[in-house]
């Protein structure tokens, strides 16, 4: 499980990469979050050796990983999927087989695009509630009991209010996934204006030095915008 497409390609296909030692009867499972093109490139080079390939990016961050509650989004050789399934079941709570290589990568990018957009909107809501004199802690309680509830709101909301961002999923990786998702949308001419706007906020937060903080630190981009307006 590697941080970006460049790293994943290098470990699989670069000098002293997996392709130099893998062969028929072996399999390569890549759990990195990459774009579909990178996954297909790795797949081709692995399969050219006679080995099997499976992409298996996960939905879930630090705590789900520790608790064995990840969600595996797999695609590629079905035989390797079946052999790896018992190990996925130890590390995760569910697994999906999505067919051809590229589908796992695409599903992960769509999921993280939604997550990143949700977090950016949540950050706006926290700041707006404070601005109009509401208690943002009560906002988090209200949200957690309604139809729009998501676990990350109640988990990250209290620390966001305190301007503390313990890293479960680094902001720089969230922005990378937003960028890759927007690129995916571009390949099929799908409009994604909400995600595009959210991506700009993550870029601003990176520029303010929050790359290695949790992605909930995107709220700092909105604070910066507010201070500049003042």
List, in sequence order, every beta strand (DSSP E) within 88-220. Answer: 92-97
Domain containing residue 78? 5-99
Q: Looking at the predicted structure, is the pLDDT value of residue 227 above 70?
A: no
Give catalytic residues, as residue numbers.
108
Domain count, the chain: 2
Q: What is the pLDDT of residue 63?
A: 86
Claim to verify: residue 128 and residue 149 sit in the same structural domain: yes
Instruction: Provide the sign of the torsion angle of the four alpha carbons 24, 56, 45, 20, taken in this order.
Output: negative
Which residue, of 38, 71, 99, is where some domain finishes? 99
Confidence of residue 3 (pLDDT cuts 50, 70, 90): confident
Q: What is the pLDDT of residue 171?
A: 98
* Contacts of 105 by beta carbon, 8 Å cutoff, 6+ apart: 33, 34, 35, 36, 38, 39, 55, 57, 75
pLDDT digits (tens, 9 = 90+) for 64-120: 899 999 999 999 999 999 999 999 999 999 999 999 999 999 999 999 999 999 999
Claim to verify: residue 188 and residue 204 sit in the same structural domain: yes
Claim to verify: residue 111 and residue 171 sit in the same structural domain: yes
Model pTM score = 0.90
pLDDT digits (tens, 9 = 90+) for 105-120: 999 999 999 999 999 9
Which SS3 state, helix, strand or coil, does residue 72 take? strand
């Amino acid at each position: 499980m590697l941080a970006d497409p460049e790293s994943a390609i290098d470990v699989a296909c670069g000098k002293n990469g997996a392709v130099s030692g893998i062969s028929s009867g072996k399999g390569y499972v890549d759990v990195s979050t990459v774009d579909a093109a990178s996954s297909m490139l790795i797949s081709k080079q692995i399969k050219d050796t006679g080995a099997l390939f499976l992409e298996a990016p996960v939905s879930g961050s630090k705590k789900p990983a520790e608790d064995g509650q990840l969600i595996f989004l797999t695609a590629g050789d079905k035989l390797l999927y079946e052999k790896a399934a018992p190990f996925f079941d130890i590390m995760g709570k569910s697994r999906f087989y999505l067919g051809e290589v590229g589908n796992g990568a695409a599903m992960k990018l769509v999921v993280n695009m939604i997550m990143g957009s949700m977090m950016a909107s949540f950050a706006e809501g926290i700041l707006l509630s404070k601005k109009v004199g509401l208690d943002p802690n009560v906002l988090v309680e209200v949200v957690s009991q309604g139809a729009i509830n998501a676990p990350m709101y109640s988990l990250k909301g209290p620390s966001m209010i305190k301007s503390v961002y313990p890293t479960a999923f680094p902001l720089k990786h969230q922005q990378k996934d937003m960028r890759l998702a927007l690129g995916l949308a571009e390949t099929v001419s799908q409009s994604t204006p909400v995600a595009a706007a959210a991506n700009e906020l993550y870029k601003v937060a990176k520029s303010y030095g929050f790359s290695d903080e949790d992605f909930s630190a995107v709220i700092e981009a909105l604070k910066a915008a507010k201070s500049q307006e003042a």
